[in-house]
Structure 1
Amino acid sequence: MADDQQSAKPRFGYETVDARTLASLRWQVGSRLKIANTKHLSSASRRFGTRAALGPHAVLLLFVADAPHEPGGLRLHTASRLFPAGPDAGHLPTVLDDLIIAAQGHIANAGPQWHPLDGVRSLVNGEQVHLPVGARYLGVGVSTLDTDQGRWSDIAASLHETLAAGIFGASQQISGRCYARLVDHTAMQVDRDAYPALGDNGIRCTQPVDIDHYDSYRRYADLTSRGDHDHQQMWQRLTALHDLLTAHLNPGRDV
């Protein structure tokens, strides 16, 4: 296993990180995505049926910065983009296509100086994020409220009927899902299950998130090729956006 662990030391686009730290960082990403999905659900639930209604998908940009006093010496930072409800907002591949086109335009207009968190050219619109000096791009993720339970538009309508009837806590029964691509070639699916199976953390990853159970990730090697046509299109668009940001923010590094 020593050889396998040595081969699992890719540069995160800027440095070599040991295998245990990489696994811990992926775990942090999975946990942060669950939190982001919960916030997404809360915001979408509050605004459903209003002029400010949100679409079922959100995009997250992930960054990492040196933090000597934290485990692994790294701290994860996230920034989000929510989308208003609308005809195109419900189709995730289209949402990602639009973001790719926007990023390409900003890069063409602003050149190497453009950053996806900068001012009027920002790709995000969530709470303001101030990255520490030296923070590096880590990856891109998606939060979605469309799951095996059904489409968000149908679930939300049922949820509001339930709340109107005075039955509280209904939102806690709604699941969510996230996807991510990271600069060490990781693909990740994270299920925030309202009724998780005992011992299931919901993280499906092509690289280990627990170095003590190193081989468990191998069952997800084909993660990006699973699912129907739209699901595979989502992975293609998410990977294309990630590759674009990696090439721009980590120039000269392998995507």
Structure 2
Amino acid sequence: MPDRPAVDVTPSFRGAVASRLRKFSFLHARHAWEQRRSDPLAPHGVAFFYLEPKAPQFDQLRTATRILLGDDEAASLPHLLYGLARHARDGFSTDPTFDPRVAMANRVDGMSRSAVFAGVGVVSLDTPHGSWRDAQHRARGEQDLPGRCYARLIDGTMLLMDRGGEPQFNALTVECSVQDGNTQYDTPSMLWRWNPVLAETAESDPTFHVWRWIGELGRIIDHGSRSR
């Protein structure tokens, strides 16, 4: 097994992940709104996070993202993540050149060969304010669309983010499973809260299977990447 740089998931890296997911959520909402009648997108998108160990600490995050066309499988976030986990498992077990940044993403930041896998994130237009199906009928435009984001990093950090549209004053709340000192990052509308209960999500909770398959997808990619 090749040497692998240690991944130090710092508060600044977690903050960068939150900021990147916020931007991805905005862009996903824009594309979904623009294409809702012509070439509909799935209400969910996926991000793979990498850490560039030789970069300055404030600039270590690199991201590969994927948005998908809408279909029955992609409509359910847990089933989408389950399918991606199977894809990653089969890819690593059968193809010695398999790389999620190539095989599972359609946009990738530039990064060096030293970049190390650091976690998985999800953006969704299904939120506590309603489903994407309902939201697109109520919204006046993309600015009214809220979003929900999830992330699980390889140190076990869990982030749950709710991004409001204009009706919610464009506020962003970040719940983090570890207490790391972040109070806001990059924007005064981002409120950072410690929520250790995220790591104890009950099976009856609607997000249980989302967290389950985000964790499994990350575990498969981390293990497969380490073996290369």
Please report the TM-score for the alignment, with normalisation by the length of structure 1: 0.76
Q: Is the 8 A contact 1:34 1:191 kept in 2?
A: no
Q: 1:173, CA displacement in angstroms?
A: 2.3
CA contact (8 A) 2:174 2:193 kept: no
2:189 maps to none
Structure-2 change in CA distance of 1:204 and 1:241 (3 Å): same
Match of 2:105 among 124, 133, 141: 124
RMSD after superposition: 2.7
Write the letter of the residue equivalent to 2:119.
G
Cα shift at 1:209 = 4.3
Q: Does residue 144 in structure 1 map to residue 124 in structure 2? A: yes
Q: Does 1:250 align with 2:214?
A: no
| Alignment partners' CA distance in 1, 2:108 and 2:17 | 19
Q: In terms of mean alpha carbon deviation, does 33-42 or 84-93 score higher?
A: 84-93
Give 1:140's aligned amino acid: V
Structure 1 residues 217-232: aligned runs within 5 Å: 219-224=194-199, 225=201, 228-232=204-208
Distance 1:132 1:223, change over 3 A: same
C-alpha deviation, 1:66, in angstroms = 3.1
Measure, in 2, the Cα distance between the counterparts of 1:99 and 1:86.
15
User: In terms of mean alpha carbon deviation, does 94-103 or 148-157 score higher?
Assistant: 148-157
Partner of 2:19: 31
Conservation of the 8 A alpha-carbon contact between 2:63 and 2:108: no
Partner secondary structure for residue 156 of structure 1: helix
Aligned length: 216
Q: Deviations over 1:195-251 (max 9, x none)?
A: 259xx75111112342689xxx89511214058544101111111111111111134
Secondary structure class of the residue paired with 1:48: coil
TM, length-normalised to structure 2 = 0.84
Q: Distance in 1 between matches of 2:161 and 2:197?
A: 15
1:238 counterpart residue number: 214
Hey, which of these two has a bigger chunk of helix by percent?
A: 1
Counting only pairs closer than 5 Å after superposition, residues 1-255 of structure 1 correspond to structure 2 as 14-15=5-6, 17=8, 22-50=10-38, 52-68=39-55, 70=56, 72=57, 74-111=59-96, 113-118=97-102, 122-125=103-106, 127-159=107-139, 162=140, 170-194=141-165, 195=168, 201-210=172-181, 219-224=194-199, 225=201, 228-251=204-227
Which 4+ stretches in 1 moved above 3 angstroms?
226-230
User: 1:102 is paired with a residue of what secondary structure?
Assistant: helix
Alignment CA distance shift 1:227-1:153 (3 Å): farther
Instruction: Name the amino acid aligned to 2:173.
Output: G
Task: Report percent identity of matched pairs.
Answer: 24
Letter in 2 for 1:115: D
Other-structure match for 1:167: none
Larger radius of gyration: 1
The one-letter code of the counterpart of 2:195 is Y
